[in-house]
Amino acid sequence: MEVADVFGDLPPLETERLLLRRLAVDDVLDLHAYACDPEVARLTTWEPHASTEASRAFINAVLAKYAAGDIAPWGIVLKAEGRLVGTSGFVYWNPQHGRAEVGCALARRLWGRGLMTEAVRRACAFGFEVMGCNRIEALCLPENVASARLMEKVGMRFEGVLRECAWTRGPYRDRRLYSVLRRQWRAEAPSTPRQEEATTHVAASSITLTGPHPHRIAAMASRRATRSASSL
Ligand SMILES: CC(C)(COP(=O)(O)OP(=O)(O)OC[C@H]1O[C@@H](n2cnc3c(N)ncnc32)[C@H](O)[C@@H]1OP(=O)(O)O)[C@@H](O)C(=O)NCCC(=O)NCCS
């Protein structure tokens, strides 16, 4: 299986309260409404979106990934509101080793209601059943207790600390590593919505995100906007 086999035609997914679907150009204001919040970005690797142009740049970068069949997130729509409230999905996938990593962000006003547990569980089911993953991982900063708790609720186990594993707006920072295995998922989450089982033998070479992460593109757009504003 190749990355483009899945991400070239990323299907929508549904949970009780959420629709996970591709981001669209029209999501820009809803995306900006939460991505500009410094508290949402604080424990992530991306900068808060300083302008709607930064959010537009993020969406355009994601749309380019959909078009290229690259790894890209789903937008999360809260069914009760019919609007985009976050993103969730894969940030890394190595089909040869059956290993992928999930990432997510949600509007602050909706935290603590179990919504992201619902979204990440659904994404993991997709990872095991459609992408044929054997292992799905998540990383978070040590102080991101909400993310750590979320991973545990999804069924992931804490494996250890990756020392100074990533640059985060300044110093290299440790990351806590969580994972769930396919056999564990099957044993512990039998109620997960089932999709078509992936039976194809995985034979692709290591594939990861290509090009800058969309949130980095948004940050670059923010900086450009700031520079042009300050030069007026
Ligand atoms: C991490 C995030 C996605 C969680 O989304 P969410 O919808 O609030 O998650 P859930 O409600 O499904 O689960 C969160 C759990 O963490 C718990 N939690 C949240 N803040 C906490 C805190 N300060 N201390 C202890 N537990 C906390 C919640 O109570 C809940 O657990 P519970 O159901 O057992 O009570 C959301 O906080 C977010 O978008 N954060 C900013 C972006 C981010 O950090 N993304 C992850 C990068 S690794």
Minimum CA distance residue for ligand 1 atom 18: 146
Residue 116 has pLDDT above 60, yes or no: yes
Pocket test for ligand 1, best of 17, 116, 176 (most atoms within 8 A of CB): 116
Minimum CA distance residue for ligand 1 atom 8: 111
Task: State the average pLDDT over residues 110-115.
Answer: 98
43-54 pLDDT, tens digit each? 999 999 999 999
Question: How far is the centre of ligand 1, averaged over its atoms, from the C-alpha of 125 (Å)?
Answer: 20
Question: How far is the centre of ligand 1, averaged over its atoms, from the C-alpha of 113 (Å)?
Answer: 9
Mean pLDDT of the chain: 86
Name the more confident of 213 and 150: 150
What is the pLDDT, as a whole number, of residue 191? Answer: 53
Residue 214 has pLDDT above 80, yes or no: no
Beta bridge partners of 208: 92
Indicate which atom in ligand 1 lies nearest the CA of residue 107: 39
- Specify the residue for token string 């300083």: 50
Show me where the domains of the chain are located. 3-196
- Rounded CA gap, 123 and 103, in Å? 10
Minimum CA distance residue for ligand 1 atom 48: 140
Task: State the average pLDDT over residues 81-90.
Answer: 98
Do the Cβ atoms of 85 and 77 come closer than 8 Å?
A: yes
Question: How far is the centre of ligand 1, averaged over its atoms, from the C-alpha of 48 (Å)?
Answer: 18
What is the pLDDT, as a whole number, of residue 231? Answer: 23
- Backbone φ and ψ for 73, nearest 5 degrees, come out as -80, 165
Indicate which atom in ligand 1 lies nearest the CA of residue 105: 39
Residue 94 has pLDDT above 70, yes or no: yes
Task: State the average pLDDT over residues 149-156.
Answer: 97
Q: How confident is the model at residue 216 (pLDDT cuts 50, 70, 90)?
A: low
Residue 222 has pLDDT above 70, yes or no: no
**Using alpha carbons only, what angle is made at residue 64 by residues 62 and 70, rounded to the nearest 5 degrees?**
80
Task: State the average pLDDT over residues 21-46.
Answer: 97
Q: What is the CATH number of domain 3-196?
A: 3.40.630.30
Do the Cβ atoms of 72 and 89 come closer than 8 Å?
A: yes
- Rounded CA gap, 223 and 33, in Å? 18
pTM: 0.87
Minimum CA distance residue for ligand 1 atom 16: 146
Residues with CB under 6 A from ligand 1: 40, 43-44, 104-106, 111-117, 140, 144-147, 149-150, 153
- Rounded CA gap, 206 and 103, in Å? 19
Residue 169 has pLDDT above 90, yes or no: no
Indicate which atom in ligand 1 lies nearest the CA of residue 106: 39
Task: State the average pLDDT over residues 90-116.
Answer: 98
The gap from C-alpha 82 to its chain's centroid, in whole angstroms, comes to 20
Minimum CA distance residue for ligand 1 atom 28: 112
